[in-house]
Every structure is written in structure tokens, then in C-alpha cells.
């Protein structure tokens, strides 16, 4: 049944984006907000707004009871979770379904399955996707570790089987190093986790991050090609492109097909993203995880394919079959998105929740600025620092970088410190232009002083 | 008696984690370089330094309470 009234269970720029998509489909909108967000742009745009609690997210945007009550009190028949917050919380999806409401996303069972790293990996293997080679289960001593390392090929990572969060990970470049490090790793794992079991995994040196956008209706699935998201700082994406540069057509088709294979294998419903590590040297790609929500960087895909991903999510959630056939999805040109954060890149990216005095936004064909700002808006300090995303679209990648540089010159957010200077410096980087970048590139580039007051 | 003010708007915390003791309790000696609390701003935790030395007299802003830049967080005598 088509959605009539949508509760937007998020804030910031994605709430604005969801409201626009709902309005384009004639769907009524209810915007939830915390006490700190009563004057945000999405509240002004929505048909209705409802306060769900005090500023801390745990008592508002992360409160399942508060959101369910808001949906019931306003008579909404569907809930869009956006990204972050409860967007990949299976308990939230289940609670909404139990109330007889529509969750705009996949079923809770699929969120559970893809949210569990081991289960997601097993599901991907069963669907025929390549994963980062590793030992078959745990290894107990140096001899077993060596056998596993020979099989996957050096260099390898030695991880605690019971570990997490990167703790105790060692790199072994050859057999001698592995033989020396495995016993240390084993005793450390025993001390830290009470379990000396190890796991050996192939180290992909300086990988790129490539991801594929998919859409599914539970029966059919299509891909909307790939994005390049290798520029990251502290595992946060900074600059994103569609498509990925320098991929052979064979690799592009293979990686996109594998994402569809996974979506079909789980009967995926909604918009999702399959993430991969890509090894530039070998041309191999490896599944790492699937995100079961709309992503921050979805606009670059929209720019090159012309597909409105958020509107399509709403149609699918309302029970419509996929409106797009694979052979109708084509890529036109190249798109780049940069994340404009309220942070001072010249002071260790210190958050800057200031007041926007006035804004000047570049306009013209192929330029888009997704944001939640207006003149005089006070940025609340309680949530993440994303203010907006500047997106450009041009015939080729070099044109797109030029266009981004020009658009950044015309974007002014006075009264705030933002990451605009970082993006200006990136747009003039020869390494970036030549595609000599990977997930380990940005932080050393910053540490080397490539961003200065005059940049 | 010097006031310690919040450098940024955000949420003020008396302790490094919910399970920990507060950074300072009344009567503690305070060095200028000591951390007396954390302000969470945009998901980042900023350490608040005393910037004066003396004796800790107590927190003024409540634990886990929203604060504005310039609000008095604690007093040092």
C-alpha cells in the first residue's frame, strides 16, 4: 500500500532530502526533532513537526519508544530512518513493523544478518562474492598460522580470533616475521580476551574503497554502478566520486554484478550499498560489508544515473515493484561530492558549532548543494558536524575536479569554520587528479602539511 | 576565585566514562594542566583543562548537562 504520511526519523541534511523526495511523490511529511532542533530547516519544510525529547540523541533520535509514539500520535503510516542513528537497528525496524507501520528499508532479519560481520561474510561467500582471503577459522599455534599464511599469501595480518576494534593486530611480511610474531600474538590474545585463538588474513596494501549502489524490491535487484570513496580521515569519508577511476570495464561489470548477486541472494528490499576493498596492483576486489540504508554519498550516483534513489526507496517501501530495469541504468559523465563539515581543518578538525551569518551558494547546471542551512541558523553542538554536501557533475573526471574547484570558490558560509579549505586543497592536488590515492593516502598527506592557512 | 569556563558549547561530563570517578572532587589539588572535565561537541570529546592551579571547589555545571561556550563549569579556589 502506497505511503500516505511519512515520519522522518532523522535530522540535518538527510531529513531535508527525504522531505523533498516525499513531496515529489505527494506523500505527507512529519518531521521529528529534539528540543535543540526545533528551528532546523526540515522542521520548517515538513507538513507537521513533533518534538521527541531533549537534545541528547539517546533521549531523542535514538529513542525507539519516543519515535514510535510520535508515529502513532501523528498518524504516520511509514518511517524513514535516514542514515546513522537507528537506520541499521534491526530492533527499531522490527518495532515499527510490529506496530503495522512501514519501515523504509529492508526487513529486520536482513539488517541483523548484514550487521553481523561473520554472518555477512558467510552470506557473501555463499553468493559467490570474493572476500579478503583468510585462514579457515581459527589457528592455534605458529605452525598452523604459517600454513594458513602460505595459503593466503604474504603480507598477512595476525588477529585475535576473539578480538575486535583492531586490538592486537600484527603485520607479518614474511615467514620469519610470522614465526616470531605468532606466539606473541597468541599470548597477548590469551591475556586480553582469555582466548589465544588467532585468525590469519591477507593484508591488502593501500586498498581503495569502492562501493556499489543497489536497489531491490525483494524479488528483483539492480545496481546503479559504483562509487569511489577512498579519501578518508579517521575512517570517515571526505570526498566521493561516481564512478571509480581507472577501473577496467571487465572489473566494473564484475564488481557491480557481484553486488546484485548478494542483493538477490538475500531478497533485498530497498536501497543498499555493497562495500569492497579494491587492490590497484592486482585489480582484485573483496567484499567487506553491506550497508542496509541510504548513504551520505548517494547524490553522486543520482547525478550520473539520473535516478532519484530516495524516491525509489519510498516507492518500493510502499509496495511498488522496482521501476528501473538494469539495462535502463546508464552512467552519464562523472560526479564528485565533498562533505562540508563544521570543523576547522587547520586546527585538528576541531568542531565549530557556530552561527551561520549568511550563505552564498554556487548555482548552475551540474551543481547541487544538499544542506540544512539558512541565514542566521545556529548549529547545535549535540550532533555530528555534517552541514551539507557540495556535488558537481561534468562530462569527465578532470572537468568535474575543475568544476568542484570553481564551485568551492563560490561557496561561502560566513561565520563558520568549515572543511571548505580542505576541499580546495584536495581539488588542486596532483595525486588526486592523477588517481594516485587510496584509503591510506589522506592522513599522511595532511600530516605532511599540505593544508596551510594560505591553501 | 577563578572560574573554569567551557571553551565550546556541548555536553559537559565530570568523568572520563560513565563508570569512572569524577576527574576532581572538592578539596583536590589542581594544576593548570589538569583535566577537570570533558565537553562533547559534535560527537568529539574535548578535554577541559583547569588553566589555573589551586584547590578544587566543585562543579557548577551538572554532569551530562548541556552547556554554552563561556558557561562556568567548575570553581577553583
| Domain residue spans of chain A | 5-104, 142-202, 208-447
User: Is A233 considered catalytic here?
Assistant: no
Question: Which of 374-393 (A) contact B at CB < 8 A?
Answer: 381-385
| Residue A10 touches partner B, C-beta closer than 8 Å | no
pLDDT for res A452 = 81
Instruction: Answer whether residue A449 shows pLDDT above 60.
Output: yes
Note whether A382 contacts B46, CB cutoff 8 Å: no
Query: Which one-letter DSSP state was computed for residue A378?
Result: B
Task: Give the model confidence (pLDDT) of A279-299 as tens digits.
Answer: 999 999 999 999 999 999 999
Predicted-assembly ipTM surpassing the 0.85 threshold: no
Shortest distance between the Cα of A380 and any Cα of chain B, in A, equals: 8
For range A332-344, the mean pLDDT: 98
Q: Which of A56, A343, A353 sits opposite B9 (nearest CB)?
A: A353
With an 8 Å Cβ cutoff, is B77 touching chain A? no
Q: Within the 50-69 window of chain B, which residues sit less than 8 Å (CB to CB) from chain A?
A: 64, 66
What's the CA gap between A341 and B42, in Å, rounded?
10
Contact A381 B42 (CB under 8 A): yes
Element (H, E) at A339: strand A334-341
Looking at chain A, which residue has its C-alpha nearest residue B47? A350
* Cross-chain residue pair B43–A384, CB shorter than 8 Å: yes
Convert A350-377 to b/e letters by CB count within 10 Å (16 or more is b). Answer: bbbbbebeebebbeeebbbbbbbbeeeb
CATH superfamily, domain A208-447, is: ATP-grasp fold, B domain (3.30.470.20)
Contacts of B41 in chain A (CB under 8 A): 351, 353, 381
A226-235 tens-digit pLDDT: 999 999 998 8
Determine the pLDDT at residue B1: 66
pLDDT of residue A455: 46
Predicted pLDDT of residue A350: 92
Q: What is the mean pLDDT of each run of 10 residues along chain B (77 residues)?
A: 89 92 96 95 92 95 92 95
- Domain spanning A5-104: CATH 3.40.50.20: yes
The string of pLDDT tens digits covering residues A313-327 is: 999 999 999 999 999
Q: What is the dihedral of CA A6, A11, A16, A20, to 10 degrees?
A: -10
Residues pairing with B75 in the sheet: B3, B58
Taking the alpha carbons at both ends of chain A, their separation in whole angstroms is 53
Residues A80-101: what's their mean pLDDT? 97
Q: Please give the helix or strand (H or E) that residue B37 lies within, else none.
A: strand B35-41
**What's the whole-number mean pLDDT along residues A23-37?**
98
Residue A18's pLDDT band, with cuts at 50, 70 and 90, is: very high
pLDDT at A161: 83
Instruction: Tell whether omega for the bond before A7 is within 30 degrees of 0, i.e. cis.
Output: no
CA of B11 vs chain A CAs: smallest distance (Å): 7
Residue A191: band (very low, low, confident or very high) from pLDDT cuts 50, 70, 90:
confident
User: Which chain A residue's Cα is nearest to B12?
Assistant: A382
Average pLDDT, chain A: 95
> Residue A115 corresponds to which cell in the numbers above?
550487521
| Torsion sign across C-alpha atoms A149, A199, A142, A205 | positive
Q: If you average pLDDT over residues A146-161, what whole number do you get?
A: 93
Domains of chain B with CATH codes: 3-76 (2.40.50.100)
Which of 3.40.50.1000, 3.30.70.270, 3.20.20.370, 3.30.1490.20 is the CATH number of A142-202? 3.30.1490.20
Name the more confident of A300 and B17: A300
Of A297, A412, A305, A306, nearest to A356 by C-alpha is: A412
Q: How far is A343 from chain B (nearest CA, A)?
A: 9
Least confident of A7-11, A54-58, A95-99: A54-58
Question: Between β-strands B10-13 and A412-414, what pairing exists: parallel, antiparallel or unpaired?
Answer: unpaired
Given a contact cutoff of 8 angstroms between Cβ atoms, the answer to whether A132 and A286 are in contact is yes
Q: How many residues does chain B have?
A: 77
Amino acid at each position: 500500500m502506497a505511503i500516505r504520511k511519512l515520519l522522518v526519523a532523522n535530522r540535518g541534511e538527510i531529513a531535508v532530502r527525504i522531505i523533498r523526495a516525499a513531496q515529489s511523490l505527494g506523500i505527507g511529511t512529519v518531521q521529528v526533532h529534539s528540543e535543540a532542533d526545533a528551528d532546523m530547516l526540515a522542521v520548517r519544510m515538513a507538513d507537521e513537526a513533533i518534538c521527541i525529547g531533549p537534545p541528547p540523541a539517546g533521549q531523542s533520535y535514538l529513542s525507539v519508544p519516543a519515535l514510535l509514539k510520535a508515529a502513532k500520535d501523528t498518524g504516520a503510516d511509514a518511517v524513514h530512518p535516514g542514515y546513522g542513528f537507528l537506520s541499521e537497528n534491526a530492533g527499531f525496524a522490527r518495532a515499527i513493523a510490529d506496530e503495522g507501520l512501514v519501515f523504509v528499508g529492508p526487513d529486520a532479519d536482513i539488517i541483523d544478518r548484514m550487521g553481523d560481520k561473520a554472518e555477512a561474510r558467510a552470506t557473501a561467500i555463499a553468493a559467490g562474492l570474493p572476500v579478503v582471503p583468510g585462514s579457515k577459522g581459527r589457528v592455534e599455534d605458529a605452525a598452523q598460522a604459517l600454513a594458513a599464511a602460505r595459503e593466503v599469501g604474504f603480507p598477512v595480518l595476525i588477529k585475535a580470533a576473539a578480538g575486535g576494534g583492531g586490538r592486537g593486530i600484527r603485520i607479518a611480511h614474511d615467514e620469519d616475521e610470522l614465526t616470531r610474531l605468532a606466539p606473541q600474538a597468541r599470548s597477548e590474545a590469551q591475556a586480553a580476551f582469555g582466548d589465544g585463538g588467532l585468525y590469519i588474513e591477507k593484508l591488502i596494501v593501500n586498498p581503495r574503497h569502492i562501493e556499489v549502489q543497489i536497489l531491490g524490491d525483494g524479488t528483483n535487484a539492480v545496481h546503479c554502478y559504483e562509487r569511489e570513496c577512498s579519501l578518508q580521515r579517521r575512517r570517515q569519508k571526505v570526498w566521493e566520486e561516481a564512478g571509480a577511476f581507472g577501473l577496467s570495464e571487465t572489473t566494473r561489470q564484475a564488481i557491480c554484478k557481484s553486488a546484485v548477486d548478494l542483493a538477490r541472494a538475500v531478497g533485498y528490499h530497498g536501497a543498499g550499498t555493497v562495500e569492497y576493498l579494491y587492490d590497484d596492483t592486482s585489480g582484485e576486489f573483496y567484499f567487506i560489508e553491506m550497508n542496509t540504508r541510504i548513504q551520505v554519498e548517494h547524490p553522486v550516483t543520482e547525478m550520473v544515473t539520473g535516478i532519484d534513489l530516495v524516491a525509489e526507496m519510498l516507492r518500493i517501501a510502499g509496495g511498488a515493484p522496482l521501476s528501473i530495469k538494469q539495462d535502463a541504468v546508464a552512467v552519464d559523465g562523472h560526479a564528485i561530492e565533498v562533505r562540508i563539515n563544521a570543523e576547522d581543518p587547520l586546527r585538528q578538525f576541531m568542531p565549530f558549532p557556530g552561527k551561520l551569518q549568511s550563505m552564498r551558494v554556487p548555482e548552475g547546471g551540474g551543481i547541487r548543494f544538499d544542506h540544512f542551512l539558512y541565514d542566521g541558523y545556529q548549529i547545535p553542538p549535540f550532533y555530528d558536524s555534517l552541514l551539507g554536501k557540495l556535488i558537481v557533475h561534468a562530462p569527465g573526471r578532470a572537468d568535474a575536479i575543475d568544476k568542484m574547484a570553481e564551485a568551492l570558490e563560490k561557496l561561502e558560509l560566513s561565520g563558520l569554520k568549515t572543511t571548505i579549505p580542505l576541499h580546495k586543497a584536495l581539488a588542486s592536488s596532483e595525486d588526486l587528479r592523477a588517481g594516485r590515492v587510496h584509503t591510506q593516502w589522506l592522513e599522511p598527506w595532511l600530516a605532511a602539511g599540505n593544508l596551510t592557512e594560505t591553501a | 576565585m577563578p572560574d573554569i569556563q567551557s571553551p565550546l558549547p556541548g555536553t559537559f561530563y565530570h568523568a572520563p566514562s560513565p563508570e569512572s570517578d569524577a576527574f576532581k572532587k572538592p578539596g583536590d589539588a589542581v594544576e593548570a594542566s589538569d583535566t577537570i572535565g570533558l565537553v562533547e561537541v559534535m560527537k568529539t570529546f574535548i578535554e577541559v583543562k583547569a588553566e589555573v592551579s589551586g584547590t578544587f571547589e566543585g562543579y557548577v555545571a551538572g554532569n551530562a548537562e548541556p552547556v554554552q561556550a563561556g558557561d562556568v563549569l567548575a570553581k577553583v579556589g
